[in-house]
A and B are shown apart, each in its own frame.
Chain A
Amino acid sequence: MTAPAEIRPLTAHVAADGAPLSLKIYEATGGYRAVRKALKDMQPGDVTKTVKDANLRGRGGAGFPTGVKWGLVPMGDAAPKSKYLVCNADEMEPGTFKDRLLMESTPHQLVESMIIAGYAMQATRAYIFLRGEYVLAAKNLNAAIAEANAAGYLGQNILGSGWSMDLHVHTGAGRYICGEETALINSLEGRRANPRAKPPFPAIAGLWGKPTVVNNVETLCNVPHIINNGAEWFVGLNQGKSKDGGTKLYGVSGRAKKTGLWELPIGTTAREILEVHAGGMKDGLNLKCWLPGGASTDFLMPEHLDLAMDFDTIAKAGSRMGTGLLTVVDDKQNILSVVRNLEEFFARESCGWCTPCRDGLPWTEKLVRALERGEGQEGDIETLEQLTRFLGPGKTFCAHAPGAMEPLQSALKFFRAEFEAGIKKASAQAAA
C-alpha cells in the first residue's frame, strides 16, 4: 500500500510490516494537523457541516450519513453536560478484517479522528469499544493514547481551546451482538448486550442516558483527511465511480488467489476487486456466488460482478454493501453447507432477548442442516420461506435476525434446486 495519500488517505502511510506509526512519524506524515485546524480555526458546527458536505457514509455496514448523525446531538448551553463519543471497534462481522489493520498499523489516525469528532459534538469522554481478541490493536491504541495525552492532544483544555475530553480503550468479552449500536452501549455500561428500543436514538439518549455518537473505525478515520482537504476533495476520491464520496477498504476472502485488503475509490466494481486485486479464483475453481459485505448480506451471483460496490448500487441489486469485504464462494461448495454455517453462527450469537430471533434461528439452522444431510421433509422449503418473513425487518427487536435471513432468502432464490435436492423423497423413504 504505497500509493500517495491523495489517492489512499487511510492506508498510504501503513508501514510495509504493519508496525504502528509512532507519534513522531505520524506527525511527520501530516498527522494531527487536522486537529489543530479544527480546534483553532473551526467552530464545532463547521466541522459537522464539512463532514456532512463530504457525504461520508458509515463504513460499519449501514451507510448512514455520518454528518447527519453528528447533527442530531444537542449542542449549546442547554445541552446535557456529559456527552459521549464511542468508536465501534467490535469488528466481528464474518468476512470482515478491515478495522484491525487501521488500529494495529495507524492507531494515531483513529485517535486524531476521535479528537475531531469529539470536538464536533463537544464530547466529554470518548471510548473505543474494542473486541477483546484484538490484543495487538489494544496495545497499539493504548500506546498512541498515552503519547497523545503527553502531547496535549487529549485531556484538559486541549490545545488551549477550552474544551476537554479523555479517551479510553474498553475491551469486550465476546458476542457478535455487541456490534449493534444500542447493544454496544448496554455492554459498555456493564450490562448484558441486549439491544435497546429506538427511539430515542443514542444521539439523544445513549450511554448513561446522555447524547452519544457511535461510529465505526473506518468511518472515523476519514475525518482528519476531510478536515485537511475539504469536502469537495473527499467526494472526488471516488474518481467518478459512485455518488458516494471517498475511498473504501475492500477485501476478498474465500478461495481466491490473493486474498487481502485494498483501499480503492468507493464504487470500484466487484469484478475489479476480485479479478484484478485478488487475482481471481484459485485454479480449478469457479465463482458460484458471493457475499458483498459480511454474513448478514444477501448473496449475489457472478453476473452481478460488474456492479459498483457502493451502498445504493448493491441495494438496488437486492443486497447490501455491508462492510464491503467480499466473501467468495467457489463452485465446489454445497450451498446448503454454506447457509448452514451462516445460520449456525447467527443462532449461536442471538442474544436471546426477543422470541422470533431466539427460537426462529435455531429452527432455521435445524431445517437447513436436515436439507444438507438429504433428510429434509416436504414443506421444509416453504417453512424456511415463511421464516424469512417472520424473522424479517420489523418483526424482531434489532437487525440480527433480519441479517440472518438475508443470505438464506437469496440462497433460496438463486439455488432452489439444491434445496429441493435435500428433501428425502417419500418413495426413497419407503425403499429405505
Chain B
Amino acid sequence: MSTANANSGANAPVLKLADLVGGRKPVEPPFVFSDEERHEIEHELGHYDDNRAATIEALKIVQKHRGWVPDNAIAPLGEIIGIPASDVEGVATFYNMIFRRPVGRNVIKLCDSISCFLTGYDEVREAIIRHIGVGLGQTTADNRFTLLPICCLGACDKGPVAMINDDTIGNLDPTQIPKLLEQYP
C-alpha cells in the first residue's frame, strides 16, 4: 500500500537522517497567522461571552486555510484566544474533524453506522479501497484522496452514504465508485 508520508505536508520540516543520528530536532519555521486567519478568528471571539468558546472554530479556520492543523499552530492559537496551549491541544485532539496530519485534496468520509451497514457499507468501502489503493485513515501517494470513517451522516434513508469534501452523496453503488471519484481531481 502506498501511503503519503505524514511529514509530507507543505509546512512540515524535512527530516534528515544525519539530524536523527545527531539527536538534532529539525528547525520548524515559526507559525504565522495570515491576516485573513487572524481576522476571521477575532471575528469569532465576538460571538461568545468567553473567548474559549471560539477554540473549535479557530481550529477550523486554520484547517480551512491550510488543510490541517500543524503542531506549531497550537501555541499561537492559545495566545490569540487567551487560554493555555495545553487546552487548545486537548480540544484539537478530541474532535475527529480536526485533522492533525496533512490530508489529501479530497477527503472521503464514509459512514459506517448501522443503516449504511445494513444497506451495503462493506461493499462500498471495498470498492473505494480497491479504486484508490489505500485503506481507512490513509492518504494516497499522489495526495488526491484521504479516506476516513465517520459516524451517521443523518441521511440514513439514502444509505450507504458518504461525504466527499462538502458534498453528501447517498445511495452509493459499489460499481459506480470509479465514476464518482473521477469528479474529484
Residues of A within 8 A of B (CB): 82, 91-97, 99-100, 125, 131-136, 168, 170-176, 187-193, 208, 251-255, 259-261, 291, 295, 325, 327-330, 333, 337-338, 341-342, 344-345, 348-349, 351
With A133-B163, A251-B157 as given contacts, are A342 and B95 in contact (CB-CB < 8 Å)?
no
B114 interface residue per 8 A CB criterion: yes
- Chain B, 37-78, CB within 8 A of any chain A CB: 47-50, 52-57, 59-60
With A327-B118, A349-B151 as given contacts, are A253 and B159 in contact (CB-CB < 8 Å)?
yes
B127 interface residue per 8 A CB criterion: no
B143 interface residue per 8 A CB criterion: no
Nearest A residue to B109, CB-CB? A133
Which residue in A82, A95, A100, A189 is a CB contact (below 8 Å) of B114? A95
Q: In the bound complex, do residue B112 and residue A95 qualify as a contact, i.e. CB atoms below 8 Å apart?
A: no
B156 interface residue per 8 A CB criterion: yes
Q: In the bound complex, do residue B119 and residue A254 qualify as a contact, i.e. CB atoms below 8 Å apart?
A: yes
Which residue in B55, B109, B114, B157 is a CB contact (below 8 Å) of A190? B55
With A134-B154, A173-B60, A254-B118 as given contacts, are A94 and B113 in contact (CB-CB < 8 Å)?
yes
B166 interface residue per 8 A CB criterion: yes
Q: Which residues of A contact B95 (CB under 8 A)?
A: 172-175, 193
B34 interface residue per 8 A CB criterion: no
Q: A295-B114, A338-B117 are in contact. List 14 more A-B contacts (CB 8 A).
A: A94-B114, A133-B109, A170-B47, A175-B95, A190-B52, A190-B81, A190-B83, A191-B91, A253-B156, A254-B115, A254-B118, A295-B113, A295-B152, A342-B114
Q: Which residues of B contact A133 (CB under 8 A)?
A: 97, 109, 150, 153-154, 163, 168
State the Cβ distance, B34 to closest chain A Cβ, in Å.
21
A95 to B117, CA, bound (A): 11
Q: Which residues of A contact B166 (CB under 8 A)?
A: 135
Q: Which residues of A contact B91 (CB under 8 A)?
A: 190-192
Q: Which residues of B contact A344 (CB under 8 A)?
A: 112
A219 to B89, CA, bound (A): 35
Q: Which residues of B contact A174 (CB under 8 A)?
A: 95-98, 150
Q: Which residues of A contact B169 (CB under 8 A)?
A: none
Q: In the bound complex, do residue B56 and residue A261 qualify as a contact, i.e. CB atoms below 8 Å apart?
A: no
A131 to B96, CA, bound (A): 12
State the Cβ distance, B19 to closest chain A Cβ, in Å.
34
With A190-B53, A191-B91, A255-B119 as given contacts, are A176 and B151 in contact (CB-CB < 8 Å)?
yes
Q: Which residues of B contact A95 (CB under 8 A)?
A: 113-115, 152, 156
Nearest B residue to A134, CB-CB? B154
A168 to B57, CA, bound (A): 13
